[in-house]
Every structure is written in structure tokens, then in C-alpha cells.
Amino acid sequence: MAYEIEKSDAEWRAELSPEEYRVLRGAADEAAFTGTYTDTKEKGVYSCRACGADLFTSEEKFDSRCGWPAFYDPKDLESVEVQQDASPYPVVRCARCGSYLGELFEGEGFATPTDKRYCINSLSLRLKPGNSD
């Protein structure tokens, strides 16, 4: 799939830390309850750590007690893409650069407007504090 931001593997490795590369480009998950943003309540916009695209806001973040930051909707539906691959749950990627963000779960009974849980790795995100508009 073609993305707005295309870089070689070497370019991504040069720009990202080894752990960021493992998650964002290698589609690995960080260990549960270890991420920077798991329990963060600060207001702002969560952007893709690889390309800077705005993905989620603090307004859609909720405490799912799953060990990773959880959001019930992206900032804009076009900011993320959801792909069904060989994994049991749909994979969530940045629509701008294709970096791996996490997985999407639906129908778990959370009292949110969508009953969706975008379970996202902290290493895939960077919080820009402030207004989440």
C-alpha cells in the first residue's frame, strides 16, 4: 500500500530508537502496563511518533484497564486505517506513514459512544499537550 510518507527501512531505523522501530515498523507490542501514556490524563492530541500525524485526542481516551492507552475513536476517521491480517484482531496503522499503532477491539461492553477500543502502544504515540481540537 502506498502512503503519503514513504521511507526506506534504513531511514526509519536512523530516525527511530530500536524500541520505537520494533513497535512502529515491526508491528510488535510493548509490554502491558509499561507505556508512558497508559494512565496519562493530560489533555492534548496524540500524534504518530514516526511521522507526526494527529491520530487521537485526550477527549476519546478512556481507562480500559487493558495495560495500553485506549481510545474509543480516532481524531479523524481518515487518520488511521484498520486492516484485517492473520492476527485475530484488526490491526490499526497510521494512515499517513503505515506505522503500526495497535489493535482494534469491538463489542466489549465499554460505556463509550462507539463500544470500540483502539488499543494503542505508547511507543507509537507522542502527546502534544494542550487543546485537543
* Residues with catalytic function: 119
Residues in the chain: 133
Beta strand extents in the chain (DSSP E only): 44-48, 54-57, 61-62, 70-71, 80-83, 91-94, 100-106, 116-120, 125-129
Residue listed under C-alpha cell 511507543: 123
Fill in the DSSP letter of residue 39. Answer: S
